[in-house]
C-alpha cells in the first residue's frame, strides 16, 4: 500500500524546523525527529547571514548582498551557491512574515547588517534581529543605561558597559536586587522571562530602573524580556521608561532563540506536522538508490520510520550530526554519507587554538548538488529521496563566517520546498 | 533488518555495550537546556536542576562514596531533561541511581522509609484493599483515614488516591467465555492499576486487540517494580523484575510479544529496570526487546495498513490529551495521537506541559505534594481551558492526579478506540457516549 507518511525531517535546529515548516504548509504530512532541543536554544535569536568576509582578515561585513558574491567566487561550494541568492532572499522574507504574523517581527534586510552588542560588549554583525534588540545598534552613539539582575549570573553589565564606552558610547549600568528575584536561589533566563510577563513584576523593574535613567537615551537588558509575549513586554517597557529598550542575548539556553523554536514548532503543528523529541536517528536502510527506512533509538530496540522522502538536518560536529573519534574517523551518523573532510587526523587542527585560519576539521560536511541531494565522488546522487540541509553541509564554516542561521534558513527553506514539489 | 510481523517476538538480541549511565555525564557540555526545561526546578529551589544534580554532582559520586546531598530526592523522575538534552546524557537515570545510593546508605528517616515502601507497593496495597473494596475506599477517602495516614506515615492528606474496583481485571478475564482464538497471539501486561483499580482499561485493551484478530493471553504477572525503583529501593524492585521475567519469558521464547497499557510498567520492562539495576541477563534483554506500549504496537499495524479502521463510530468531541512524561521516555514519538487520529470526528488537543507533577508516588508525599501541584498547574489550566466532558492520558497516576485537581474525568486512549469499535464502555466514557 502507498506509504501514508510523506516527509521525515531529522533534526530540530533552524534548518530542520524550517524544512518541516515549509513542507507542511505545502500540504505534506511531515514528521520531525530530534535527539534533543536543537541549535535554536544555543544561538542569539537573530539571523546571521554573513558577518565576516574575507575570513582571514576577520573583516566585518556591512552589506551581505554585496559580500556574498565575493564569498562564492572564492568558495564555489558554499551552501549559498547551492541554493542561490534569490532563494536565500525568499527564505528570509518567508521567515520574516512568519515571525511578524506570530507577533514577533524580525527586522533587517540583506543590504545592511545590524551591528549589535554582545554579552561581553563586543560587536556582532547580524542580518535580521527582533525589534526587541535593534535599539542596541552601536553605530548609534546615544547614551545607554544597561540593566542587570543581581541573581542572574549570566549577564555582567559592568563589563559590557566598559567595552561599549570603548566604542564611544556613553554607558552607565545598574544591577537590580529585586525581592521577587531574590526569593529564588536559582535564576535562569527562562524564569526571568516568565516573570517579565507578569505586569506587577514589570512594574517593579520599571520603578527600580527609573532613578538611574539619567541622560540615557536607551536602556539595555539581558534577552529575558518575556517568552511568548516578548513584543508586548518590550513595548510596555519602552512606554513606561519613555525611551527605546533593547535586549542583549547571552549565554545559552537563549530565551531569544527559544522564541524562534516555538514560532517554527507552532507553525509546523498548525499545518498538521508533528515534532518528536528525544528520538535519535542512528541508522538507515537503503535499496536501489532509495532510502527505505531510518532507524531511531528507543527504550529497548530500534524503531524503523518509513517515509517517501527524508531531509537530513542533524548539524555538523557541533550539532552531533557528524561525529569524530580518536582514530581519525569522521562520520555522518545516520546515512554514513561521504564527507568532505581532512584526509588524516594530523590535518584536523592548526597549531594555535585561536588560529585566524580556523581548524580544517570544522569544515567537514556532506557534499550536495544544487537540489541539496547528497552526491558521491562521481557527482552522482546517492539516494534519490534524501536531501540535506543546514550546517551538516560541506563548503562552509558557519561560525567563523557568522552565517549559521542564514545557511540553516536558506537550505532548510529550499529543502522543504524541494520535497514538496 | 526487521521485516517480520510486529507481533512476532525477536529472539536475537541487538548488540549493546550497556555502559553504566554515569559514563554518559562526560557528554555534558553544560548548555543548561535541561535546567530550563525541568518542571521541578521551575517551581522550587529544593531541586537546583538536572545538570547540577546529574552530570555535575555525578562527578563527585565515586562508587562507595556517600552521595553529597539530599536534593536529588526532589527529582520527580519525569525525564524531560533526557528528552531535551542535545548530547544524550542519561540525566534522570544518573539521579535515580544517586537516590538509590542515598536509600542504601540509610540516609532516609524511618518514617519515610516505611511510607515509601508502602506506597511503592501497589500490588501489596491492591491485594489488601481490593477484596474489601467498599471498606477500604471508605476509610482511605475519609477525613479520618487521611488524617491518620498523614500522622503516621507523612502521606499527603489531599493526595489523589484511586478507588479499588469491585472486581479484579484478571477475574473478569478468567470468566470470559467468548475469547478470540487465533494463531496471532500477544501477551497483555495489565499492571497493578488495571488489576486493582481500573479494570475497564484492560477490558478495552483486550477488545481492541481481539478486534484486530489477536488472541490475548493474560498469564500471571506482578508489579513491574517501578514505584520501588523511583523510591531508590533497588533490591526489592529487582525481586519484582526477576519474578516478572520468570513468569513472562517463556511466552516471548514461544514468539509472542508483551503489550501493555500502563506506560510506566512497559517502560520499566523495556529499560528502567535493566538500566537502573544494571541487570542485563539474556532473558531481561529478550523481555525488554519484545515489550510494547499498546498504541506503539497499534501504530505499527496502522503503518502496515493492518489496523482495523473501517466503520468506526464517530466520537464527536474535542478533548485534551496529555502525553505522560513516562510515555515520552519510551522515545517512540506520540503513538496514541496517531491512533486517536483514526477515530472519526474526534479532535485531540495535545498539552505542551512537561509533567503533571505526580511523578508516580512523588506527589503522595506530604513534603512534596506542594511541588507536585505547582509543577502540574500549567497542565491543570490547559485541561480546564479545553473543558471537554472527559480528557485523555495514558498513565494511571497522571490520570488520577489531573482528574482530582481539575474535576475533569480521565480515560486511557485505548478506551476511545474500543468505543469507536462499538464495544460497550464503562466509567467516565460511558457517561458521555450514549
Whether the predicted pLDDT of A3 surpasses 60:
no
What is the spatial distance between Cα B342 and Cα B305, in angstroms, rounded to a whole number?
Answer: 12
Residue with cell 545598534: A137
What is the spatial distance between Cα A213 and Cα A172, in angstroms, rounded to a whole number?
Answer: 9
In this structure, how many other beta carbons lie within 10 angstroms of the beta carbon of residue A75?
18
pLDDT, tens digit (0-9, with 9 covering 90-100), for A199-240: 999 999 999 999 999 999 999 999 999 999 999 999 999 999
Task: Answer yes or no: do A279 and B331 touch at CB < 8 A.
Answer: yes
Cell of B420: 469507536
Q: Is A38 on the interface with B (CB under 8 A)?
A: yes
What is the spatial distance between Cα B107 and Cα B110, in angstroms, rounded to a whole number?
Answer: 9
| Rg of the Cα atoms in chain B | 21
Residue of A nearest to B18 (CA): A300
- pLDDT above 90 covers what percent of chain A? 90
Q: Is B70 on the interface with A (CB under 8 A)?
A: no
Whether the predicted pLDDT of A57 surpasses 90:
no
Contacts of A173 (CB under 8 A, 6+ apart): A145, A146, A147, A148, A157, A158, A160, A161
Residue with cell 500549567: B378
Task: Answer yes or no: do A185 and B84 touch at CB < 8 A.
Answer: no
One DSSP character per residue, B9-52 reads PP-SPPP-----GGGGGGG-----HHHHH-TTTTT-TTS--HHI
Residue with cell 549493546: B16
Task: Answer yes or no: do A186 and B334 touch at CB < 8 A.
Answer: no
What is the spatial distance between Cα B39 and Cα A55, in angstroms, rounded to a whole number?
Answer: 43
Taking CA atoms, A139 is separated from A134, A164, A193, in Å, by: 11, 11, 28
Max Cα distance, chain A (Å):
72
Interface of A with B in 188-217 (CB under 8 A): 188-191
Q: Out of A36, A41, A306, name the one closest to residue B83 (CB).
A: A36
Cell of B317: 468531541
The DSSP 8-state label assigned to residue B268 in this structure reads I
Query: A251 pLDDT band (50/70/90 cuts)?
Result: confident
Task: Answer yes or no: do A277 and B328 touch at CB < 8 A.
Answer: yes
Query: A2 pLDDT band (50/70/90 cuts)?
Result: very low
Are A219 and A245 within 8 A, CB to CB? Answer: yes
Q: Suggest the residue from A154, A263, A299, A303 to mutate for an interface test with chain B (most B CBs closer than 10 A).
A: A299
* Peptide bond before residue B395 is cis, with ω within 30 degrees of 0: no
pLDDT, tens digit (0-9, with 9 covering 90-100), for A313-365: 999 998 999 999 999 999 999 999 999 999 999 999 999 998 888 899 999 99
Q: What is the mean pLDDT of residues A368-380?
A: 96
Q: Is A35 on the interface with B (CB under 8 A)?
A: yes
CA atoms A357, B30, A44, A368: torsion sign: positive
Task: Answer yes or no: do B84 and A304 touch at CB < 8 A.
Answer: no
Q: Is A326 on the interface with B (CB under 8 A)?
A: no
Residue of A nearest to B289 (CA): A300
Give the pLDDT of residue B68.
Answer: 63
Q: Which residues of chain B have pLDDT under 50?
A: 1-2
Residue of A nearest to B3 (CA): A304
Question: Which residues lie across from A283 on neighbouring strands?
Answer: A295
In this structure, how many other beta carbons lie within 10 angstroms of the beta carbon of residue A207?
12
A12 CB neighbours in chain B (<8 A) are none
Are A368 and A362 within 8 A, CB to CB? Answer: no
Task: Answer yes or no: do B331 and A297 touch at CB < 8 A.
Answer: yes
Give the pLDDT of residue A118.
Answer: 96
Task: Answer yes or no: do A320 and B329 touch at CB < 8 A.
Answer: no
Q: Is B41 on the interface with A (CB under 8 A)?
A: yes
Q: Judging by beta carbons within 10 Å of its beta carbon (0-12, 13-18, 19+), is residue A374 exposed, middle or buried?
A: buried
Q: What is the mean pLDDT of residues A80-85?
A: 97
Helices (H), B182-281: 191-192, 199-211, 226-230, 234-253, 263-267, 273-277
Helix A230-241 to helix A199-209 angle (10° resolution) is 40
Average pLDDT, chain A: 95
Give the pLDDT of residue B60.
Answer: 77
Give the pLDDT of residue A364.
Answer: 95
Q: Is A272 on the interface with B (CB under 8 A)?
A: no
> What is the ipTM metric for this complex?
0.91
pLDDT, tens digit (0-9, with 9 covering 90-100), for A258-277: 999 999 999 999 999 999 99
Amino acid at each position: 500500500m502507498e506509504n501514508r507518511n510523506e516527509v521525515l525531517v531529522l533534526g530540530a535546529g533552524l534548518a530542520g524546523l524550517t524544512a518541516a515548516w515549509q513542507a507542511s504548509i505545502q500540504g505534506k504530512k511531515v514528521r520531525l525527529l530530534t535527539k534533543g532541543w536543537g541549535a535554536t536554544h544555543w544561538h542569539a535569536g537573530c539571523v546571521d547571514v554573513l558577518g565576516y568576509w574575507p575570513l582571514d582578515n576577520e573583516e566585518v561585513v556591512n552589506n551581505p548582498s554585496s559580500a556574498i558574491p565575493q564569498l562564492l567566487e572564492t568558495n564555489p561550494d558554499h551552501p549559498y551557491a547551492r541554493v542561490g541568492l534569490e532563494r536565500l532572499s525568499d527564505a528570509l522574507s518567508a521567515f520574516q512574515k512568519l515571525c511578524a504574523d506570530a507577533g514577533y517581527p524580525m527586522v533587517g534586510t540583506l543590504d545592511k547588517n545590524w551591528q549589535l552588542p554582545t554579552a561581553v560588549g563586543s560587536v556582532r554583525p547580524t542580518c535580521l534581529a527582533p525589534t526587541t534588540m535593534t535599539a542596541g545598534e552601536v553605530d548609534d552613539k546615544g547614551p545607554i543605561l544597561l540593566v542587570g539582575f543581581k541573581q542572574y549570573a549570566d549577564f555582567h553589565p559592568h563589563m559590557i558597559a566598559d567595552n561599549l564606552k570603548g566604542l564611544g558610547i556613553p554607558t552607565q549600568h545598574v544591577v537590580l536586587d529585586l525581592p521577587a528575584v531574590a526569593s529564588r536561589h536559582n535564576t535562569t533566563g527562562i524564569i526571568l522571562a516568565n516573570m517579565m510577563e507578569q505586569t506587577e513584576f514589570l512594574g517593579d523593574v520599571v520603578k527600580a530602573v527609573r532613578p538611574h535613567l539619567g541622560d540615557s537615551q536607551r536602556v539595555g537588558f539581558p534577552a529575558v524580556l518575556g517568552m511568548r509575549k516578548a513584543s508586548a513586554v518590550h513595548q510596555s517597557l519602552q512606554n513606561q521608561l519613555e525611551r527605546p529598550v533593547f535586549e542583549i542575548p547571552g549565554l545559552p539556553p537563549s530565551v531569544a532563540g527559544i522564541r524562534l523554536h516555538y514560532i517554527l514548532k507552532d507553525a509546523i503543528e498548525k499545518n498538521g506536522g508533528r515534532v518528536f523529541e528525544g528520538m535519535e536517528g542512528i541508522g538507515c536502510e537503503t535499496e536501489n538508490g532509495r532510502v527505505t527506512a531510518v532507524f531511531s533509538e528507543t527504550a529497548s530496540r530500534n524503531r524503523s520510520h518509513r517515509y517517501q522522502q527524508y531531509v537530513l538536518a542533524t548539524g555538523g560536529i557541533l550539532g552531533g550530526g557528524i561525529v569524530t573519534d580518536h582514530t581519525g574517523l569522521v562520520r555522518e551518523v545516520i546515512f554514513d554519507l561521504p564527507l568532505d573532510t581532512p584526509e588524516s587526523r594530523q590535518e584536523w587542527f592548526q597549531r594555535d587554538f585561536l588560529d585566524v585560519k580556523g581548524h580544517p576539521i570544522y569544515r567537514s560536511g556532506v557534499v550536495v548538488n544544487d537540489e541539496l541531494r547528497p552526491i558521491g565522488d562521481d557527482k552522482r546522487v546517492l539516494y534519490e529521496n534524501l536531501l540535506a540541509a543546514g550546517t551538516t553541509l560541506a563548503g562552509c564554516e558557519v561560525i567563523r563566517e557568522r552565517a549559521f542561521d542564514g545557511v540553516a534558513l536558506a537550505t532548510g527553506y529550499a529543502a522543504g520546498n524541494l520535497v514538496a514539489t | 533488518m526487521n521485516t517480520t510481523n510486529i507481533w512476532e517476538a525477536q529472539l536475537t538480541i541487538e548488540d549493546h555495550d550497556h555502559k553504566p549511565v554515569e559514563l554518559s555525564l562526560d557528554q555534558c557540555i553544560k548548555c543548561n537546556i535541561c535546567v530550563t526545561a525541568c518542571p521541578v526546578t521551575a517551581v522550587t529551589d529544593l531541586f537546583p536542576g538536572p545538570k547540577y544534580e546529574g552530570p555535575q554532582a555525578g562527578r563527585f559520586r565515586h562508587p562507595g562514596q556517600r552521595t553529597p546531598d539530599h536534593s536529588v530526592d526532589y527529582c520527580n523522575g519525569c525525564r524531560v531533561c533526557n528528552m531535551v538534552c542535545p548530547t544524550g546524557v542519561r540525566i534522570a537515570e544518573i539521579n535515580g541511581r544517586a537516590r538509590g545510593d542515598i536509600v542504601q546508605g540509610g540516609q532516609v528517616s524511618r518514617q519515610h522509609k516505611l511510607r515509601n515502601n508502602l506506597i511503592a507497593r501497589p500490588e501489596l496495597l491492591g491485594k489488601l484493599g481490593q477484596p474489601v473494596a467498599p471498606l477500604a475506599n471508605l476509610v482511605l477517602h475519609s477525613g479520618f483515614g487521611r488524617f491518620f495516614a498523614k500522622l503516621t506515615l507523612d502521606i499527603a492528606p489531599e493526595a489523589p488516591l484511586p478507588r479499588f474496583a469491585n472486581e479484579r481485571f484478571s477475574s473478569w478475564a478468567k470468566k470470559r467465555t467468548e475469547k478470540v482464538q487465533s494463531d496471532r497471539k500477544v501477551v497483555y501486561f495489565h499492571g497493578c492499576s488495571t488489576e486493582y483499580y481500573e479494570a475497564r482499561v484492560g477490558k478495552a485493551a483486550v477488545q481492541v486487540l481481539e478486534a484486530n484478530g489477536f488472541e490475548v493471553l493474560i498469564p500471571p504477572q506482578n508489579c513491574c517494580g517501578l514505584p520501588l525503583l523511583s523510591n531508590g529501593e533497588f533490591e526489592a524492585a529487582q525481586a519484582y523484575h526477576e519474578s516478572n521475567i520468570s513468569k513472562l519469558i517463556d511466552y516471548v521464547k514461544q514468539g509472542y510479544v508483551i503489550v501493555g497499557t500502563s506506560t510506566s510498567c512497559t517502560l520499566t520492562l523495556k529499560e528502567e529496570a535493566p538500566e537502573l539495576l544494571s541487570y542485563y541477563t539474556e532473558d531481561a534483554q529478550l523481555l525488554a526487546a519484545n515489550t510494547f506500549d499498546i498504541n506503539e504496537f497499534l501504530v505499527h499495524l496502522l503503518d502496515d495498513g493492518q489496523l482495523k479502521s473501517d466503520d468506526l463510530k464517530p466520537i464527536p468531541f474535542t478533548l485534551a490529551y496529555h502525553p505522560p512524561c513516562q510515555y515520552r521516555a519510551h522515545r517512540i514519538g506520540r503513538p496514541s495521537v496517531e491512533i486517536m487520529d483514526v477515530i472519526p470526528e474526534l479532535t485531540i488537543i495535545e498539552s505542551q506541559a512537561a509533567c503533571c507533577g505526580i511523578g508516580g508516588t512523588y506527589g503522595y508525599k506530604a513534603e512534596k505534594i506542594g511541588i507536585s501541584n505547582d509543577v502540574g498547574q500549567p497542565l491543570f489550566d490547559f485541561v480546564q481551558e479545553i473543558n471537554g466532558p472527559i480528557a485523555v492520558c495514558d498513565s494511571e497516576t497522571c490520570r488520577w492526579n489531573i482528574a482530582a485537581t481539575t474535576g475533569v474525568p480521565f480515560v486511557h486512549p485505548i478506551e476511545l478506540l474500543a468505543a469507536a469499535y462499538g464495544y460497550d464502555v464503562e466509567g467516565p466514557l460511558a457517561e458521555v457516549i450514549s
